[in-house]
């Protein structure tokens, strides 16, 4: 069944806009097919507003009418900004408690990358150079795959799922283009990469001012207030890295704007968000900022990069420029030792024992592979490649 999106622009104040949005959310909830809803929750303002509206809807309807299961799904890359992941966990605990007290069909879930896809296993274990705009190897492994895997699991069980995202046309010029690309006059759009998953963007027409006005005046239905969220933005001088569930959204992760996301992010030139936290009085995050800056500074140091790739070959791009391989074994070892020392300094886990064990396994595998390459004629083979994929 096709549900037409209300096209008339709500007139008047924010309450009129919200009345229209609430009506759309309610109408979609009671649509013919009671497939599960999956709310992408990054902990930022937009996803918080969507979660707020969904939670509110469930709480104020009779229990017999709650026929859809709602999954509120966050992603933890395992290198999230400490204050941000702390905020997300606090809100998740409040949501779980409220869902239990009011017997709501709500599952609050956190997805994480598999150990072979984590930041440290790839950077320290495999020697991947720190991510940059042309070689952003982190987003797909750490954000897209874990959340997409969870969504596909729900689709496999029920045949279909509806993904609710806090996407707004007003976010940026790029976002406006992306939103326009999928405008089809209906409430639901097909997901680009996941058959059986439909996307619902209930707050797409709200402005940033609308979002903040609502969050500042309406306490969340799961309890407490949005004050901590507002303070988080104020202190970080930025915004959240959104829930990313398809590769076309990847540029949203690690843009030039100040966003709070991974504390290790080297895609941005300066982590103004983490700097904002330090300037706001969270001096304990200064060492994290210094470590992130050091990772960025050593990326293109030729002394720290191997000439050969793991397959024993060299790479020259189409312009004839030599492209260095992964970090050397000495550099990887140094990064690990510095990271473990930093972990002691800040008094919080930055890398898990499981990751350290996997890193050492990969180093052993690399040592064996290098021995084979040294005995093989392939060691001198030169191949051409795409610098952006290999740098």
Mean pLDDT, each 10-residue run in order, the chain (391 residues): 43 83 96 91 96 97 95 97 94 98 97 98 97 92 96 95 93 55 74 92 94 94 94 74 54 50 88 82 91 95 86 69 87 98 96 98 88 56 47 56
Q: Decide if 28 contacts 187 (C-beta within 8 A).
A: yes
Q: How many domains does the chain contain in total?
A: 2
What is the rounded CA–CA span in Å between residue 196 and residue 160?
5
Closest of 379, 369, 18, 11 to residue 211, by C-alpha: 18
Facing residues of 110 across strands?
Answer: 74
What is the rounded CA–CA span in Å between residue 347 and residue 339?
12
CATH of the domain at 82: 3.40.50.620
Average pLDDT across the chain, whole number: 85
DSSP string for 198-264 = EEE-TTTT--HHHHHHHHHHS--TTSS-SHHHHHHHHHHTSEEPPP--SGGGGGGTT-SS-EE-BTT
In a domain, 181, yes or no: yes
Structural domain that includes position 239? 14-285
265 and 238 share a domain?
yes
219 and 351 share a domain?
no
Note the pLDDT of residue 6: 43
Note the pLDDT of residue 229: 93
User: Token pair of 44, please?
Assistant: 């930022």
What is the rounded CA–CA span in Å between residue 380 and residue 320?
17
List pLDDT tens digits, range 321-361. 777 889 999 999 999 999 999 999 999 999 999 999 999 99
What phi and psi values does residue 106 have, to the nearest 5 degrees?
A: -120, 130
271 and 205 share a domain?
yes
User: Token pair of 378, please?
Assistant: 């392939």
User: pTM of the entire structure?
Assistant: 0.84
223 and 105 share a domain?
yes
DSSP string for 78-126 = SSB-HHHHHHHHHHHHHHHHHHHHTT--EEEEEE---GGGSHHIIIIIS
Q: Exposure pattern of 48-83 as b/e (b: 16+ CB <10 Å)?
A: bbbbbbbbbbbeeeeeeebebbbbbbbbbbbbbbbb
In a domain, 245, yes or no: yes
Helices and strands (DSSP H and E) totals, the chain: 14, 11
107 and 169 share a domain?
yes
**Alpha-helical segments (H) within 280-328:** 286-298
343 and 278 share a domain?
no
147 and 211 share a domain?
yes
What is the rounded CA–CA span in Å between residue 84 and residue 17?
29
In a domain, 335, yes or no: yes
Task: Determine how many CB atoms are found less than 10 A away from the CB of residue 342.
Answer: 17
Angle subtended at Cα 228 by Cα 227 and Cα 234, rounded to the nearest 5 degrees? 90
42 contact partners, CB below 8 Å, separation of at least 6: 74, 75, 88, 166, 240, 241, 242, 243
């Amino acid at each position: 069944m096709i549900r037409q999106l209300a096209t008339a622009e709500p007139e008047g104040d924010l309450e009129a806009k919200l009345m229209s949005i609430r009506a759309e959310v309610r109408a979609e909830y009671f649509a013919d097919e009671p497939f599960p809803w999956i709310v992408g929750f990054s902990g930022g303002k937009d996803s918080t507003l969507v979660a707020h509206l969904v939670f509110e809807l469930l709480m104020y309807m009779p229990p017999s009418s709650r026929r859809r299961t709602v999954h509120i799904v966050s992603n933890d890359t395992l290198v999230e900004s400490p204050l941000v992941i702390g905020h997300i966990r606090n809100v998740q605990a409040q949501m779980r408690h409220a869902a239990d007290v009011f017997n709501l069909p709500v599952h609050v879930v956190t997805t994480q990358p598999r150990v072979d896809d984590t930041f440290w296993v790839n950077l320290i274990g495999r020697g991947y150079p720190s991510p940059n705009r042309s070689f952003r190897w982190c987003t797909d492994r750490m954000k897209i795959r874990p959340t997409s895997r969870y969504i596909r699991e729900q689709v496999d069980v029920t045949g279909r799922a509806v993904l609710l995202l806090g996407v707004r046309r007003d976010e940026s010029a790029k976002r406006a283009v992306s939103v326009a690309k999928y405008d089809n006059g209906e409430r639901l759009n097909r997901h680009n990469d996941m058959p059986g998953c439909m996307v619902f963007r209930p707050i797409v027409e709200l402005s940033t001012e609308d979002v903040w006005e609502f969050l500042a005046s309406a306490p969340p239905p799961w309890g407490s207030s949005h004050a901590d969220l507002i303070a988080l933005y104020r202190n970080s001088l930025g915004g959240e890295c959104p829930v990313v569930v398809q590769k076309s959204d990847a540029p949203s992760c690690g843009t030039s704007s100040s966003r709070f996301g991974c504390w290790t992010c080297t895609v941005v030139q300066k982590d103004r968000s983490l700097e904002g936290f330090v300037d706001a009085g969270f001096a304990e995050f200064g060492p994290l900022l210094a470590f992130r800056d050091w990772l960025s500074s050593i990326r293109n140091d030729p002394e720290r990069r191997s000439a050969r790739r793991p397959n024993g070959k060299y790479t020259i791009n189409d312009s004839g420029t030599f492209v260095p391989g992964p970090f050397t074994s000495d550099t990887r070892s140094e990064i690990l030792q510095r990271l473990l020392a930093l972990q002691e300094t800040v008094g919080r886990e930055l890398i898990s024992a499981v990751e350290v064990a996997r890193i050492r396994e990969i180093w052993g595998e690399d040592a064996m592979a290098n021995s084979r390459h040294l005995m093989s004629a392939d060691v001198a083979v030169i191949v051409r490649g795409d610098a952006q994929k290999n740098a």
